[in-house]
Amino acid sequence: MPLRVFYIDDEPDICQFFKDAYDSEEVVVTTFIDPKDALSHFEKGGADLIFVDFRMPGMNGEQFAALIGDRAPIVLLTGDLEITKSTRFLKKLAKQPYPWDEIESVLKEFRKK
């Protein structure tokens, strides 16, 4: 059973790149530029792991995480240095530029499970 991963970022280029880089037979990547779309998708089928950008129009990563609750592990990605106090997240990744190595290690960890 492949790992179902959501990637949510309002940047279409980053979404596309994430999909190109990590979508495989073992990992099914679904990207969303609108967190609301991601939420409705999640309600229908759920996800095994969610990467979410903090700063997005309409709803930020923390607000999104609050709606998911503990139904799925969430990794917060942010370019901003200010870190939310919320402990809702599995991990808060704030390295610059994107913390690809950490993303890959998290993916590897979940694939093993």
Partner 1 sequence: MDLKSQFDASQKSILNLSLLRQTTAVLIERLANPTADKKTIGSTLSQLEAFVAESMDEQLNASIDDIKTSVRSFINTDQPGRNELLKKAATLNDGLAQKYALTVEKTDEIDQRTFNDVEAMALLSRESTGLAIFLTLISTVFLYVFTGRRVNSMRRQLEVVDLKKPETFSSFKVDSSDELTALELAYQDLLARLKQALDETEFERARSLQNAKLASLGELAAGVAHEINNPLAIIERSLHKFVGHPEKFKEKVVVIEKAVQRAAKIVAGLKKFSRSSGPKERVTRSICDIFSEVKILTEAKSKRHGVPVEIDCDSAALISCDELEIEQVFINFINNAIDAVTDKSEKWVRVHAFVEDREVVVQFRDAGRGIPKDIAQKLFQPFFTTKPVGTGTGLGLSISKGIIDEHGGGIKILESDPNTCFELRFPMASEALDAA
Query: Which residue ranges make up the site for partner 1 (CB under 8 A)?
Result: 10-14, 16-17, 20-21, 33, 55, 57-58, 79-80, 96-98, 100
Nearer of residues 98 and 110 to partner 1, judged by Cβ: 98
Minimum CB separation of residue 17 from partner 1 in Å reads: 5
What is the spatial distance between Cα 99 and Cα 39, in angstroms, rounded to a whole number? 24
Query: Token pair 């998290």 is at which residue?
Result: 106
- For the beta carbon of residue 32, count every other beta carbon within 10 angstroms: 22
- For the beta carbon of residue 39, count every other beta carbon within 10 angstroms: 17
Minimum CB separation of residue 73 from partner 1 in Å reads: 22
Nearer of residues 21 and 46 to partner 1, judged by Cβ: 21
Nearer of residues 72 and 98 to partner 1, judged by Cβ: 98
